[in-house]
Chains A and B, each alone.
Chain A
Amino acid sequence: MSLATPALPPLLKENPRLDQWARFETPGRVTVSTGRVEIGQGVLTAMLQIAADELDVSPDRIDLRTGDTTLTPNEGYTSGSQSMQFGGIAMRLACAEIRGRFLAAAALRLNCAATDLSMMDGAVCRDGKTTGQDYWSLADSVDLTRSATASFAVKSANDFRVVGQNMARVDLADKVFGAPIFIHDVKLDGMVHARVVRQPRRGGRVATIDEAAIRRAGKGPVEIIRHGSFIAILSADETVVDAAAAVASGHVTWDGIDPINPSQEEARWLLQQPTVDQSLGAPRPDDPLQADYAATFSRMYVAHASIGPSCGLALWRGGKLQVWTHSQGVYPLRAALARTLKLDPTAISVKHVQGPGCYGHNGADDAAADAAVIAFLKPGTPVRVQWRREEEFGFEPVSPSMVVTVRATLDEAQRPIDWTTEIWSGKHGNRPGSGGNLLAAEALPDPPPPPPAVEAVGPPGAGTRNGEPLYGFAAKRIVHHLIPDTPVRTSSLRGLGATVNVFAIEAAMDDLAERAGLDPIEWRLSVLPDPRARACVERVARMCDWQPGASIGTGRGHGIGFARYKNLAGYAAVVAEVEVNENVRVLNVWCAADGGLVINPDGAINQLEGGIIQGISWALKEGVRLDTTGICSRDWESYPVLRFTEVPELFVELINPLTDLPPLGLGEATGGPTVAAIGNAVARALGARIRELPMTRERVMAALLRDQSGVRSD
C-alpha cells in the first residue's frame, strides 16, 4: 500500500456512485462495469485484471458490462490511448474503495479492526483463515450508492497478482472460433435489412431518382424510403437489398454539388487555402524565415480502412429508441442522435457491440445513425444497416492530409537553439461528440450547421499532437494553420497529427545529426534530457545492435524514430531496417517502449506491434485518391494496405512494466516513430530523403533523380 492516494480523477468525478463500477448481486459473482469498449485492443481484459486485483477476487468471478448507456459509466470515447491512464485509474480507485468499505463493514460485524482483515477471492479473512463473511454476505450492509472519495489506497506493484500478468484476452477465443460476437451478427426478430444511397456531399439535394430501376435490380420486394435527401432501400432479404444498393447510386442524380478538383488529394493544396492560425510555445522570432535549417514534409489523406464495413441496428418502439453500435462512444452518439431526431436523450439507449478494428472515427457512428433514422421512420420494425465496402471507403471520415515545415536556428555546435514546427492540416476531431455531424443528419431536412472551424492546439493537441519535440532546445514553438474547409470529411485516426509531426521532426533530427557530423542516436541522446526517453533510445540501439557510422547510399539502411505520444503518454523508440531498390521493403523493426505500469504486458506488446505494422503500411502504401466526385479509392486495389508477404520481423520490448509509475497509454505510441524510422532508414539507404508520404515507388524514383541532379526540395 505504498501509493499516495490520488485526488478524485475526472472519470470518477463524473461517475461517482460506487455501484456504477462494481456490484455483488448474484452470490459468488461480481458485476464490473466499464464505459470503455473493446475495439480489439484488449481493454476488457485489462479492466478485468485491474478489478480482480483491487477487489481481491478471481478474474473468473467477474462479469464485465461495457459500453451501454443504460448500464455503464459515461467515459466519453474509448480513444486516445487513455483507457488505462484515465479509465484504468478510475476503475482501480473505485474497486479499492469498494474493497475497503466491505472490509470496514466486516470489521464491525466481526468486532475487530479492519486492518486485521484481508480479502481473498471475495472472502473476508483474518490471519489467513476465512471468517464466514464475504462480499455477498456483507452486500446489504455496504451502501454502494454513495459517492467515491478516492480515499482508499490502491495496491502497489508488489501486491499485484493479476495485474502485470499476460492474461489471455477474454474476447479472443470467440473470434478464433467464429462465434457470433460482432454487431454484423446481431439478429432481431422481424428485422429488415437496409442500405443507404449516400448524399454525395453536404448540401446535395436529390434531383431525380429512378425507383423502378433500383427495384428491378433487387429481383425481389424492395421498399424505398426518402426523407429530404436521405434515401434508404429496405428488404427483409439482405441479398435483395444488396443487389438493389449495388446499382442505386447510378439511378439518383443530385443538385447542389460542385465537382472537386482531384489535385486536392495532394497535401500541397493545403498551402493555398484560407486558414485559422494559432501558435503555441515560445514567441515567434522577428524573422522566422532566417532559419539555418528548413525542410517541408507532407502526407496525403489516409483511410481507417476497417476490415469490415460499418454496421448499425435500431428499433423505435413505444417512444423509445434502442441502438446497437460499434461506435467508440455510446454516450456521445446518444447525444448526437437526440439532436438529430429531436428526442430527449433519456428516450434513447445505445449499446456497444464489438466491430472490426476502427483505429479512430470511421463509419460506425454514421451507420448507427442511418439505422436510427430509418427505424424512426419505420416504428416497430428493427432495422439493420450494413455499409457497403465502397461506402466505407468513400464516406467514412479520413485522416487529414498534412504539410509540416520544420525550421531550426543552430548554435556554433550545430545544436538547435530555436525550433519551429509549422503545421497545415484539416480537422482531426470531427466526432459527433466533438462538433462533427452524423452523415444522416446532413441529408435530412433542416441539416445542422457545418462543424465549427476550431481545433485545440493542446497539449495533447490534435493536428498539433507531438508537434513539439521532446528534445531540450531552448525555444520551441508550434504554428498551426487549420484548414476548415477540406474537399472530404476528416476526423480522428490513430495518432492524429502525431504521425506526420513525428515523421517530420525525426527526419529533421537526422538531417541535423548529419550536419553536426554525429551518429543519429548519439545526436539524439546529446539533446534528450528525459531519462525515460533516453532509456528507450538506448535500449532499442542495443536491441538492433546499432552500428554508428554505417555507410550511406548502399540500398540498405537502419533508421530511428522516437516520440513520447502526446508528450504525455507512452514512450517508444523504433528502429527500422529497410532495403530499397525501386520499392521500399522493411526487413526488421525493433522497438523499446515505456508505458509505466503495464496491466497486461503481452496485450501491450500486441498493440505496439499493431501500431508498427500499421505504421509501415501508412509509410509505404496509403493515400486516399480523389476524383471530381469525392473519394475514388473505394476498394482494396485502389487503397492498398500492407500484406502478409510485406510484413517484417518485429522485436518489441517493454522497459520496467511492473512498476508503481502510473500507466501511460501505449496503443498509439509506435505509429509515428515507425513512420519516422522508415523515413530515416530510407534516407540512409538511398542517400536521398523522401519527404512525402506514402513513400511509393514513384517517390523513390523521384528522390533518386532529384539527388542525382543536385536539386534539393528544401
Chain B
Amino acid sequence: MASIAFTVNARSVEVTADGDTPLLDVLRNHLGLTGTRFGCGLEQCGSCMVLIDGLPEKSCRKALSTVAGKSIMTIEGLGTPSDPHPLQQAFIDLQAGQCGYCLPGILISARALLDRNKAPTRAEIASALDDNICRCGSHHRILRAVAQAAARMREEAPP
C-alpha cells in the first residue's frame, strides 16, 4: 500500500492503494470518475484515455505509483453540460456518436491534438485519433466535429 498524491481535474487528491493499481481503477473505483471507460485493459482501444501533464495516455495499465505529483485531466474535467468544451459542443451539434462508449477517450485525444495544433487537417485529426477505436462507425462525424470545434476555437481566440 502506498499513499499517492496528484491532481485530477485541478483538484488535489491522495489515494491509498497498491502502487501497481491501474490508474483507470483509481479513477473509476476510488475517485468515482466513471467517465473514463474500461475497454480492453491492454492499451489497445483508447477508451480509457486521459491527459497526464497535458499528454494523452491510456490509463488502463498506468500504475498509480507513476502519477505521483502529476496533473491528470479526465472527461469530467473537459467540460460540463452548463459549460461545455467546444469539442463537446461540436460533438452534440453534429450528433457525432452512436453508443458513445468510446467518446470520452476520443474527446481527450482530440483535446490533446487541439492543444498543439489549432488548425488540424482531416488527415491530422484522423492520425491523432488512430489510437482510439470506435466500433459503431461514427468516425466520419467525429472527424468533422473535431474540425468544427477547432474552427470555433480559432474564431473565439484569434492568434
Q: Please say whether chains A and B are actual partners in one complex.
A: yes
If A39-B99, A610-B98, A644-B129 touch, whether A177 touches B139 (CB-CB below 8 Å) is no
If A178-B75, A305-B135, A307-B99 touch, whether A173 touches B81 (CB-CB below 8 Å) is yes
Chain A 232-249: CB-based contact to B (< 8 A → 1; otherwise 0): 000001110010000000
Given A237-B29, A354-B99, A613-B138, 7 extra CB contacts under 8 A: A40-B136, A176-B84, A238-B25, A308-B47, A357-B98, A359-B135, A614-B136
Q: Name B's A-contacting residues (CB within 8 A).
A: 17-18, 21-22, 25, 29, 33-42, 44-45, 47, 74-76, 78-81, 84, 88, 91-92, 95, 97-104, 107, 123, 125-127, 129-130, 132-143
A355 an interface residue at 8 Å Cβ cutoff? yes
- Interchain CB contact under 8 A, A647 and B143: yes
- Interchain CB contact under 8 A, B103 and A308: no
Q: Which A residues lie within 8 Å of B29 (CB)?
A: 237-239
- Interchain CB contact under 8 A, B101 and A389: no
If A172-B97, A175-B103, A184-B34 touch, whether A635 touches B143 (CB-CB below 8 Å) is no
A-B residue pair count with CB separations less than 8 angstroms: 172
A112 an interface residue at 8 Å Cβ cutoff? no
Give A243's nearest chain B residue, CB to CB.
B20
Which parts of A156-175 form the interface with B (CB within 8 Å)? 168-169, 171-175
A538 an interface residue at 8 Å Cβ cutoff? no
> Closest approach, in angstroms, between the C-beta of B40 and any C-beta of chain A?
4
- Interchain CB contact under 8 A, B98 and A239: no
Q: Complex Cα distance A356/B81, Å? A: 22
Chain A 362-398: CB-based contact to B (< 8 A → 1; otherwise 0): 0000000000000000000000001011000000000
Identify the 5 closest CB pairs spanning chains A and B, nearest first. Answer: A178-B35, A175-B100, A613-B137, A40-B99, A178-B75
Give A617's nearest chain B residue, CB to CB.
B137
Q: Which B residues lie within 8 Å of A609 (CB)?
A: 137-138, 140-141
A612 an interface residue at 8 Å Cβ cutoff? yes
Q: Which B residues lie within 8 Å of A386 (CB)?
A: 38
- Interchain CB contact under 8 A, B140 and A613: yes
A637 an interface residue at 8 Å Cβ cutoff? yes
Q: Complex Cα distance A386/B80, Å? A: 28
Which parts of A535-580 form the interface with B (CB within 8 Å)? none
If A238-B29, A603-B95 touch, whether A177 touches B100 (CB-CB below 8 Å) is no
Q: Which A residues lie within 8 Å of B99 (CB)?
A: 39-40, 175, 307, 354-357
Q: Which B residues lie within 8 Å of A359 (CB)?
A: 135
Q: Which B residues lie within 8 Å of A39 (CB)?
A: 99
- Interchain CB contact under 8 A, A644 and B45: no
A227 an interface residue at 8 Å Cβ cutoff? no
- Interchain CB contact under 8 A, A239 and B25: yes
- Give the most central of A184, A238, A356: most B CB within 10 Å: A356
Q: Name A's B-contacting residues (CB within 8 A).
A: 39-42, 168-169, 171-180, 182, 184-185, 219, 237-239, 242, 305-309, 354-357, 359, 386, 388-389, 602-603, 606-607, 609-614, 617, 635-637, 641-645, 647, 649-650
- Interchain CB contact under 8 A, A610 and B34: no
> Closest approach, in angstroms, between the C-beta of A155 and any C-beta of chain B?
25
If A388-B41, A635-B42, A641-B133 touch, whether A176 touches B91 (CB-CB below 8 Å) is yes
- Interchain CB contact under 8 A, A644 and B84: no
- Interchain CB contact under 8 A, A307 and B133: yes
Q: Which A residues lie within 8 Å of B104 (CB)?
A: 178
If A307-B102, A308-B47, A610-B137 touch, whether A645 touches B36 (CB-CB below 8 Å) is no
Q: Complex Cα distance A669/B69, Å? A: 51
- Interchain CB contact under 8 A, B35 and A357: no
Q: Complex Cα distance A238/B84, Å? A: 31
Q: Complex Cα distance A650/B137, Å? A: 11
- Interchain CB contact under 8 A, A40 and B139: no
If A636-B44, A644-B143 touch, whether A308 touches B38 (CB-CB below 8 Å) is yes
- Interchain CB contact under 8 A, A182 and B137: no
Contact of B75 among A177, A237, A614, A644 (CB under 8 A): A177
Q: Which B residues lie within 8 Å of A40 (CB)?
A: 97-100, 136
If A175-B97, A610-B136 touch, whether A180 touches B34 (CB-CB below 8 Å) is yes
- Interchain CB contact under 8 A, A636 and B79: no
Q: Complex Cα distance A611/B138, Å? A: 10
Q: Which B residues lie within 8 Å of A647 (CB)?
A: 126, 139-140, 143
- Interchain CB contact under 8 A, A636 and B133: yes
Q: Complex Cα distance A309/B41, Å? A: 10
Q: Which A residues lie within 8 Å of B101 (CB)?
A: 175, 182, 307-308, 355-357
- Interchain CB contact under 8 A, B100 and A644: no
> Closest approach, in angstroms, between the C-beta of A236 and any C-beta of chain B?
10
Q: Which B residues lie within 8 Å of A636 (CB)?
A: 40, 42, 44-45, 133
